[in-house]
Amino acid sequence: MSDIRVALMTGTGQGIGAGCAREMAKAGYKVSLMSPSERSVNLAAELWGYRSTRYRS
C-alpha cells in the first residue's frame, strides 16, 4: 500500500471548500480541486503554482 495521501475535493472554488482544501494541502495531502467555476484554478495557483489537468475535447 502506498503512503501517498490523496483527497478528492469538490466545491473548492470558495468558502468552506477552499478552506478545507488549503488545510488538507498543509497536512501533506495531494489535493484534487473541483469546482464549476474558475476559482479553483486560482486556488491551484496559490497552492502549487498552477497545474491544470482539465479535460479538453
Q: What is the pLDDT of residues 17-31, one digit of tens each?
A: 999 999 999 999 989
Task: State the average pLDDT over residues 37-44.
Answer: 86
H-helix or E-strand containing 31?
strand 30-34
Query: What is the rounded CA–CA span in Å between residue 57 and residue 32?
Result: 20
Query: What is the residue whose three cell numbers read 497536512?
Result: 27
Q: What is the mean pLDDT of residues 26-44?
A: 88
| Backbone φ/ψ region at 50: left (φ over 0), alpha (ψ -120 to 50), beta | left
5-10 mean pLDDT: 92
Whole-prediction pTM value?
0.76
